[in-house]
Amino acid sequence: MKPAMLAAATLAALTLLSQPALAALDTAAAEAMMKKDNCATCHAIDKKILGPAYKDVAAKYRGDKDALSKLSKKVKEGGAGVWGPVPMPPNSAVSDADIKELVTWILSLK
């Protein structure tokens, strides 16, 4: 391997290793976060309330490599039309870290 390529690969590996790991939420922690951030007002894990069940969201986006970024943006900015006529309001007060953690958990549901 050429020295420049080796240096680039080493730098990439070190960058990945220095990133904080996103700990996987368990169901209890996810439910607590849903309540804290008011997600549970419109969503439940396994049934539709105003918004879709999280298991339905996971199924719809399974295999979509961009799902985490798409859904994180939707949670932060709000949106409408994907799940029916009821719009999802923006959640701009919710931290990006909370959004990423919860969306990652949602996408892991079966």
Which structural domains are found in the chain, ordered by start? 21-108 (1.10.760.10)
| Identity of the amino acid at 51 | G
Residues 28/97/92/68 CA torsion (nearest 10 deg) = -90
- pLDDT of 13 strictly over 60: no
Could you report the per-residue pLDDT of 56-92, keeping only the tens digit for each? 999 999 999 999 999 999 999 999 999 999 999 999 9
Question: What distance in Å separates the CA atoms of residue 87 and residue 51, rounded to the nearest whole number?
Answer: 9
- pLDDT of 49 strictly over 60: yes
- Which element (helix H / strand E) includes 95? none
Whole-number pLDDT of residue 1: 54
Contacts of 82 (CB under 8 A, 6+ apart): 74
Whole-number pLDDT of residue 93: 95
**CA 12 to chain centroid:** 24
Better-predicted residue by pLDDT, 20 or 72: 72
Q: How confident is the model at residue 3 (pLDDT cuts 50, 70, 90)?
A: low
Give me 26's structure tokens. 């368990």
How many residues in total does the chain contain?
A: 110
**CA 62 to chain centroid:** 12
